[in-house]
A and B are shown apart, each in its own frame.
Chain A
Amino acid sequence: DTEVTQTPKHLVMGMTNKKSLKCEQHMGHRAMYWYKQKAKKPPELMFVYSYEKLSINESVPSRFSPECPNSSLLNLHLHALQPEDSALYLCASSQRGLFGETQYFGPGTRLLVL
């Protein structure tokens, strides 16, 4: 099973709302990733968790707050977003977060900020 699941599939929120994106994998992977993908662009890395610890934050604004409650679950908490944050948010996981590993992606959450 190489499945990464993400919920919700679609999300519409206002600029004053607080919402969360959820990602789950049951492959025993110890590295999990959040990416942001704008239309017609490649994914851009936002955060990396390795063994439940935040190891990379690619200078993401604080209105995005990641959380890794356990090795299978990754959340992205959203607060006071801007319309330009509208995008497809992809979660991925890999075995240990080492170079050369395959990253397995979820289907994404399509976010619209009004």
Chain B
Amino acid sequence: GNSVTQMEGPVTLSEEAFLTINCTYTATGYPSLFWYVQYPGEGLQLLLKATKADDKGSNKGFEATYRKETTSFHLEKGSVQVSDSAVYFCALSNYGGSQGNLIFGKGTKLSVKP
């Protein structure tokens, strides 16, 4: 079946540090991959997505590359800010799954200290 595994949090970084949040997936075929972010007390916002192998999604300084050979979609940012403190969810959507269903990882909480 389809599944997503994210690194366990929480992750605590100092401002301007480099961020990596690991995400690996299990799926047949070629799923679409997403990173969503949830700020405290809010709903989920799409951060970036990639729909095929070697695609790189990017937004607000965050990047993730769809690696089919390692079934990974790791999230990176070169210099985090306090305002990046949030919970980050990796997700996939795959043909043959429930209609339009997103499979989420468990989420990784990021705290950035000034």
Contacts and interface: CB of A to CB of B under 8 A. Distances in A.
A103 B43 contact: no
A103 B100 contact: yes
A101 interface: yes
A101 B43 contact: no
Contact of B99 (A42, A97, A102, A106): A97
B53 interface: no
Interface string A89-114: 01010100111111111111000000
Interface string B22-55: 0000000001101010000011111001010000
Interface of B: 31-32, 34, 36, 42-46, 49, 51, 89, 93-102, 104-107, 109
A70 interface: no
A8 interface: no
A31 interface: yes
A107 B42 CA distance: 5
A106 B46 CA distance: 11
Interface stretch (A14-22, A43-51, A76-84): A43-51
Per DSSP, are chain B's interface residues mostly helix, strand or loop, or mixed?
A: loop
Nearest to A88: B43
B104 A43 contact: yes
A90 B34 CA distance: 18
Contact of A105 (B43, B96, B99): B43
Contacts of B95: 99-100
Contacts of A90: 43-44
A41 B106 contact: yes
B31 to A, nearest CB: 8
Given A100-B93, A105-B43, A42 B100 contact: no
B97 to A, nearest CB: 7
Contacts of B42: 107-108
Given A48-B98, A100-B51, 13 more contacts: A4-B43, A31-B100, A40-B107, A45-B102, A55-B99, A56-B98, A98-B99, A99-B31, A99-B94, A100-B95, A101-B100, A103-B102, A105-B43
